[in-house]
């Protein structure tokens, strides 16, 4: 399992909100020959298993997406293909989906002729485009009452899943225009493949620790109602792991991995993150900061309990962060 050094924050370049004596006290030396951290591997292994979509949930999400895509292909391309002119984005595209199931996010690429047709509209052609896509879907799903436009998205609210369709136009160089209906309407350029590649490459260079971390953080986001976009949380996870001393460690170290992420996240309040591909600067704000501070304090306490093999005490602290998906006992 490897040797764990008490001062786990060394090398982060930050001063923790604990004195050195307190920090050292968090991970006391072993009082006997009994190994420390006996429950970390089994606890976090089960946690990650509990976050995985079940086979039925995965199949249901893919079936819902296929039906929506087939409907749009029929309307815009005269085809019934369940796959053409579409691809997953968001957690389904990046391989970071968790349960309970969230929305299935999909780009649907409209034909270039539609761009010219809506370009003839005098005011807010983007809004008119989204309304047309909405009507197409309403005709195919007349019993689904929850179909609405929401920003650049047309949401189809099925009972088990919502499919969020983003109608787009292909620009070139793996970039797309999405509809922005604000201020009279405009198109915003996006680079979804760059976002997906950003996660894939970062996961590889960090010993496949990124996607597990993101899934755990999404569990925290949902459990504690953390007011931060999942996209921003993913970017912070990449930035953190790229400089973390735990980046090449295995699951035996995950208590420290998540604890030190929260400390890093706190340091990023009121800073910018950069979107892969487009280089857009995105303000992170600090509305989530108090949640991250609470999570850090609880994770620090849980980590100290893990070091002392206090299984239930550690599990109770972890559940305050992640909910019941992380086991109290193992």
pLDDT digits (tens, 9 = 90+) for 220-239: 999 999 999 999 999 999 99
pLDDT of residue 28 exceeding 80, the answer is: no
Average pLDDT over residues 150-162: 88
- Which letter does DSSP use for residue 15 in this model? -
Is residue 26 very low, low, confident or very high in pLDDT (cuts 50, 70, 90)? very low
**Tokens found for residue 319:** 């559940």
- Phi, psi angles (nearest 5°) of residue 107: -90, 135
- Which letter does DSSP use for residue 78 in this model? S
The pLDDT, as a whole number, for residue 175 is 96
For the ranges 6-20, 79-93, 265-279, the lowest mean pLDDT is seen at 6-20
Is residue 22 very low, low, confident or very high in pLDDT (cuts 50, 70, 90)? very low
Is the sign of the CA dihedral 10, 13, 19, 22 positive or negative? negative
- Cβ count near 90 (within 10 Å): 22
Alpha carbon dihedral 49, 52, 54, 55, in 10-degree steps, equals -110
Average pLDDT over residues 78-104: 95
Average pLDDT over residues 288-300: 98
pLDDT of residue 157 exceeding 70, the answer is: yes
With left for phi above 0 and alpha for psi between -120 and 50, is residue 309 left, alpha or beta? left
pLDDT of residue 6 exceeding 90, the answer is: no
283 burial type by CB count under 10 A (0-12 exposed, 13-18 middle, 19+ buried) = exposed
For the ranges 80-94, 135-149, 306-320, the lowest mean pLDDT is seen at 135-149
Note if the pTM is more than 0.85.
Answer: yes
The pLDDT, as a whole number, for residue 14 is 37
pLDDT of residue 274 exceeding 70, the answer is: yes
Alpha-carbon 209 to chain mean position: 14
The proportion of the chain whose per-residue pLDDT surpasses 70, expressed as a percent, equals 90
Average pLDDT over residues 205-234: 98
Average pLDDT, the chain: 90
Average pLDDT over residues 58-78: 96
Whether 303 and 256 have beta carbons less than 8 Å apart is answered as: yes
**Tokens found for residue 214:** 């993101």
Pairwise CA distance, residues 7 & 251, whole Å: 19
The pLDDT, as a whole number, for residue 32 is 53
Whether 163 and 64 have beta carbons less than 8 Å apart is answered as: yes
The pLDDT, as a whole number, for residue 93 is 97
């Amino acid at each position: 399992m490897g040797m764990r050094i008490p001062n786990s924050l060394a090398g982060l370049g930050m001063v923790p909100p604990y004195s050195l004596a307190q920090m050292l006290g968090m991970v006391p030396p072993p009082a006997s020959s009994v190994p420390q951290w006996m429950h970390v591997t089994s606890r976090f292994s089960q946690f990650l298993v509990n976050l995985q979509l079940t086979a039925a949930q995965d199949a249901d999400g893919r079936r819902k997406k296929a039906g929506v895509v087939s409907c749009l292909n029929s309307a815009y391309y005269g085809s019934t293909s369940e796959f053409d002119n579409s691809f997953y984005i968001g957690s389904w595209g990046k391989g970071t989906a968790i349960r309970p199931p969230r929305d299935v996010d999909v780009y649907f690429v409209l034909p270039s002729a539609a761009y010219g047709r809506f370009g003839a509209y005098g005011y807010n052609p983007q809004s008119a485009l989204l309304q047309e896509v909405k009507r197409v879907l309403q005709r195919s799903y007349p019993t689904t009452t929850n179909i609405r436009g929401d920003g650049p998205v047309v949401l189809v609210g099925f009972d088990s899943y919502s499919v969020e369709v983003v109608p787009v136009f292909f620009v070139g160089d793996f970039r797309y225009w999405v509809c922005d209906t604000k201020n009279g309407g405009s198109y915003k350029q996006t680079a979804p493949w760059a976002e997906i590649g950003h996660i894939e490459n970062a996961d590889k260079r960090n010993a496949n620790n990124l996607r597990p971390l993101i899934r755990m953080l999404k569990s925290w986001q949902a459990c504690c109602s953390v007011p931060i976009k999942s996209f921003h949380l993913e970017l912070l996870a990449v930035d953190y792991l790229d400089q973390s001393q735990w980046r090449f460690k295995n699951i035996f170290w995950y208590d420290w991995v998540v604890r030190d992420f929260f400390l890093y996240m706190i340091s990023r309040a009121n800073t910018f993150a950069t979107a892969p591909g487009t280089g857009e600067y995105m303000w992170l704000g600090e509305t989530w900061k108090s949640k991250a501070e609470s999570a850090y304090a609880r994770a620090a306490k849980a980590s100290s309990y893990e070091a002392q093999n206090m299984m239930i005490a550690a599990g109770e602290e972890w559940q305050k962060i992640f909910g019941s998906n992380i086991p109290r006992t193992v």
